[in-house]
A and B are shown apart, each in its own frame.
Chain A
Amino acid sequence: MAIDSSVTSVLPDTAKSTALPASGVVIETRNLSKVYRDFWGRRKVAALKSLDIEVRQGEIFGLLGPNGSGKSTTIKLILGLLFPTSGRVLVFDQDATETRKNERIGYLPEESYLYKFLTTDETLDFYGRLFDLSTEDRKRRIDELVEMVGLQGARHRQLREYSKGMTRRVGLAQALINNPDLILLDEPTTGLDPIGSRDMKDLILSLRDQGKTVLLCSHQLSDVQDVCDRVAILHQGELKELGRVSELLKVQDVTEVHARGLSEAAKQEIAEVIRRHGGQVESIDNPTTTMEELFLNIVRESERRPGARRVASEGGNATGAAAANAEVGR
């Protein structure tokens, strides 16, 4: 299996100040704006307009938006890769350009911009050396991370030989090398297959469970929905929506009931009851599962029982539906 999210919990915590700001706010942007200019200083595009967000300790915060909405710009401003045109970014109550904050930050860039001429081991060793880690700590951590991202078999191959997914995993490992308190993930699931993508999401959740703060940006809405506690939706550099995912997605005037083993007559009766109470029945139907669930179930099944799978008659899908039923019934 690729990313074993349980391993991170056994990573030793290095002796570093884990003192968080009293307010519990890890990232704070104040009236943050960024205008890109050309060589002559002429205004090209306002990528970000007066952004005010707060990311609190221990939450998974999602930045959502279409391409060019300012997500990546925000992340780069938080990392100090860009300087704000106006406004401020505070990370752990320090200015974003302050180098010391990086001790506690892990960053997975959009594409894994790694040195292709290094092997996995060399890559992690190199990034590890940039932190105050003892040699033993560094070695142990590299071993754990390699195991966690499932690259044990490819430790001594240069990254140029890797597939996109494998490079992504090395990228993730390097982002976690310092056991960071704040993790910034730029499009974390791009380039990963559905299994890797699910593993990544599980990992993100487990990082949160360890008390770490995660900021991710994505345009894969399902990812955001699956893991984020709060999201900010950006469009054309402006903040359009901000809040808890559960609240944002709740359709206030629709009620959903999941039940198992009802007869056709019972369903009719329930519909009747709803109508009697002045409600409007929109649909009574069997739920469908997601493509992700279907795929994962097939792969799990295949791992349990290798060999060609008997494809069910067209239109019916025993495995998928059964699994989904089990899922719904949980």
Chain B
Amino acid sequence: MTLQPDDFWSFSEWLLRPESFLESALLQGVVLLAFATLVGLLVAYLVSAVRYGPSEGFYAVARGVRDLFRDDLPGTSPRRIFALARLAYKEAIRRKVLVVVALFLVGLLFAGWYLDPRSSDPARLYISFVLTSTNYLILLLALFISAFSLPADIKNRTIYTIVTKPVRATEIVLGRMLGFVGVGTLMLVPMGLASYFFVVRGLRHTHEVVDIKDLGDGRFSGKLSYDQFHEHTFTLEATGDTDGSVLEGVTDYVRGHRHIVRKVGDRYVIGEPTGALRARVPSYGELSFTDRSGNLDVKGIDIGAEKGRGDYGSAGIARLVGVSREARRMEFGYVEGGTLGSAIYAFKDVTPQRYPDADGIPMEMALRAFRTIKGDIVSGLSGSITMRNPDNPKIESTPINFVVQEYDVSEERLPRQIEGTDGDQIRTLDLFQDLVTPDGRLDVILRCIDRQQYLGATSSSVYLRPAESSFAWNLFKSYFSIWLQMVMVIAFGVMFSTFLSGPVAMVATFVCVLLGFTAERIYDIRYYLDKGEAMGGGPIESLVRLVRQDSMTTDLDVDAIAAKLIKGVDSVLVYTLDVIATSLPNLPKMLSTAEYAASGFDIFGSLLARHAVATAGYVFAAFLIGYFFLKTREIAA
């Protein structure tokens, strides 16, 4: 899993962006709300001006705003909201939506057949499967129940008996949202529990000892049977605290897990698979590079094609004031082998309290390799790890060599005691005494040893692992993220259903959700337009190119006036889409939190907090819009 720069932001950093406030979420939220309010007032005025005439229309809008603040918001009663929520809840339950949970459970029963048992990482497969299926199922369900309920009430006129009671539009909108969130929660809980047991039980298996060899020195080495399409090897050692009849050992890691093997008397006890379901809590460092002559460099070497596309990040409201930004990419910088080039990770908070393990500090690496020659194809690219005192660069450990394991996370340990240089003298350095500064900073330097080969690193490639969170808790956080998405979809569904018919409201909500997925493309197109880069142009230009089968890098081969017209219309379209994409919730980002759990990483609290706050903001906006539409609607018309 590769993290984007904005994934590292703390909550306050995301909210305020101290260095570039224009890109801050707070500003974006406030401006979006203000913008929505302004557009809302304008549209309301136009509609009522048509209906009642220009001056009466103004008073009608003013009355609407006054009513909201004078009567409807203060008059909103939790008791009535709760009563309406209960109604929405009962409606959904009595319409038997819980059948979906049953379907999900049945689906799980059969899913085991179809999940590839030969997968190299079954845990990832299982977790991705349950999270993705729950996510889409719940969002689909949220879409249906939220978009159809209110229009059905209006059509069946059951709403008459509600609005003729002292019920305010605020209460109807909030009541619906709350009720459906209740239903969704009720469904998510059993689905989450079932998922947990499905993953845990699905991965559980055992082996038998098929081969055992006495190594002579009291140790044994052996092999486990070929089950579940894999086998393990292991060694056994005396445990020490017994009379020697109990031996213990662990197997090697295969498919992300290993077993503990115990020999009690003549009997072998093979433990459950461990290590497959993890929730690593990483501690990331600040990454910088040095070029081949050892000078500091920010980005490392760009090898072009190897730069992958990642998630997108919006530049927030900065986009609206003309700051154009390419969709964010994951930035792998590369280090040239056999030179002074290096990747330097500056870690913070490296203290004995956080890393109490006597074996050293656990460090994990997910690096990339880029080869310009075939080289040694058997043993893989080799690199070295050096620890250095950030305050006194003369104190440096001797390099620890490693082999790059691409597409995999390799675990290393930074030892507590290591040979190293302190100025001119060579001595044994203590990690916390000599290499780590008193305030807990440590530099870790990665180099590539093989000449003409390159080592790729990004901020999330190397991290210290101070702790391990529990898998169950991590899964719970994934489900919380799904829950947030559900709340968002419900809020949009209810909002649209206050003024659209059921099917149309559903489609509108769906489009809002989908547009988030295309935002990255839209950002790119705008970026190219702003830069004047020939990348095929906007929608109309690219359509023309498609039909004429023109390459996207050539000039548009039409006459000058037509070209001007096409480009003009295109830029209006692209800028409009850009504004819409910036305004809509970033659902894909929220969907991708499942990736954390699947890859075995603890989901950052700050990430969830960001999603939660953004969701709350959109729910509030949806509530206001829904309120105004319902309030100004002739229910009986």
Q: Tell me the A residues contacting B by CB distance below 8 Å.
A: 36, 41, 76, 79-83, 99-100, 102-103, 105, 107, 109, 111, 113-115, 117-118, 122, 126-127, 129-131, 158, 171, 174, 178
Contact = CB atoms under 8 A, between A and B. Distances in A.
A127 B636 contact: no
B166 interface: yes
B637 A109 contact: no
Given A82-B634, A118-B90, A129-B83, A103 B166 contact: yes
A83 B72 CA distance: 18
Interface stretch (B155-163, B291-299, B460-468): B155-163
A99 B79 contact: no
A113 B160 contact: yes
A281 to B, nearest CB: 53
28 contacts: A41-B51, A80-B163, A80-B164, A81-B160, A81-B635, A81-B636, A82-B635, A100-B75, A105-B164, A107-B160, A109-B157, A109-B161, A111-B157, A113-B159, A115-B87, A115-B91, A117-B95, A126-B83, A127-B161, A129-B79, A129-B82, A130-B83, A130-B165, A130-B166, A131-B165, A158-B94, A171-B161, A178-B165
B90 A122 contact: yes
Contact of B166 (A99, A115, A122): A99
B579 interface: no
Given A41-B50, A81-B163, A99-B166, 8 more contacts: A99-B75, A113-B159, A113-B161, A129-B80, A129-B83, A130-B83, A130-B167, A131-B165
Which residue of B79, B87, B94, B635 has the most chain A CB atoms within 10 A of its CB atom? B87
Contacts of B17: none
Interface string B432-452: 000000000000000000000
Interface in B62-109: 71-72, 75, 79-80, 82-83, 86-87, 90-91, 94-95
B634 A113 contact: no
B259 interface: no
Nearest to B166: A102
A76 B159 CA distance: 13
A224 to B, nearest CB: 23
Given A129-B79, A130-B165, A174-B161, A83 B634 contact: yes
A263 to B, nearest CB: 59
Contacts of B160: 79, 81, 107, 109, 113
A124 to B, nearest CB: 12
Contacts of A158: 94
A174 B635 CA distance: 20
Nearest to B82: A129
B90 A117 contact: yes
Contacts of A105: 164
Nearest to A73: B636
Interface string B150-177: 0000001111111111111000000000
A126 B166 contact: no
Nearest to A104: B166
Interface string B104-126: 00000000000000000000000
Contacts of A99: 71-72, 75, 166-168
Contacts of B165: 102, 127, 130-131, 178
A100 B166 contact: yes
B83 A79 contact: no
Nearest to A95: B63
Given A129-B83, A130-B80, A130-B83, A81 B90 contact: no
* 4 closest Cβ pairs, A-B complex: A129-B83, A81-B636, A117-B94, A113-B157
B167 A126 contact: no
A129 B159 CA distance: 16
Nearest to A78: B164
Which residue of A36, A76, A122, A171 has the most chain B CB atoms within 10 A of its CB atom? A76
Which residue of B71, B160, B168 has the most chain A CB atoms within 10 A of its CB atom? B160
Contacts of A126: 83, 86-87
A36 B634 CA distance: 11
B166 A131 contact: yes
A328 to B, nearest CB: 42
A105 B166 CA distance: 9
Q: Interface residue tally of chain B, by bracket?
A: 20 to 34
Contacts of A171: 161
B164 A81 contact: yes
A256 to B, nearest CB: 43
Nearest to B169: A99
A26 to B, nearest CB: 16
A107 B161 contact: yes
B157 A36 contact: no
Interface string B562-588: 000000000000000000000000000
A102 B164 contact: yes
Contact of B637 (A41, A82, A103, A113): A82
Nearest to B72: A99
B71 A113 contact: no
A129 B83 CA distance: 6
A171 B161 CA distance: 9
Contact of A117 (B82, B91, B159, B162): B91
A175 to B, nearest CB: 8
Nearest to A123: B161
A178 B164 CA distance: 12
B359 to A, nearest CB: 62
A113 B164 CA distance: 12
A76 B51 CA distance: 19
Nearest to A77: B636
Interface in B463-519: none
Contacts of B163: 79-81
Contacts of B161: 107, 109, 113-114, 127, 171, 174
A60 to B, nearest CB: 19
B154 to A, nearest CB: 10
Which residue of B157, B164, B636 has the most chain A CB atoms within 10 A of its CB atom? B164
B95 A107 contact: no
Contacts of B51: 41
Given A109-B157, A114-B158, A115-B91, A82 B168 contact: no
Contacts of B83: 126, 129-130
Given A113-B158, A117-B90, A82 B636 contact: yes
A105 B163 CA distance: 11
Contacts of A117: 90-91, 94-95
Given A99-B71, A113-B158, A130-B165, A76 B86 contact: no
Contacts of A83: 634
Contact of A113 (B50, B91, B156): B156
A114 B87 CA distance: 12
A34 to B, nearest CB: 10
Nearest to B163: A81
Nearest to B77: A132
A79 B87 contact: no
Nearest to B635: A81
A148 to B, nearest CB: 18
B548 to A, nearest CB: 40
A139 B534 CA distance: 73
A109 B165 CA distance: 13
A245 to B, nearest CB: 27
Contacts of B95: 117
Contacts of A174: 161
B266 to A, nearest CB: 65
A168 to B, nearest CB: 13
B637 A36 contact: yes
A113 B636 CA distance: 13
Contacts of A82: 634-637
Contacts of B80: 129-130
A76 B636 contact: yes
Nearest to A129: B83
B344 to A, nearest CB: 64
A76 B168 CA distance: 17
Given A99-B167, A117-B95, A130 B162 contact: yes
Contacts of A100: 71, 75, 166
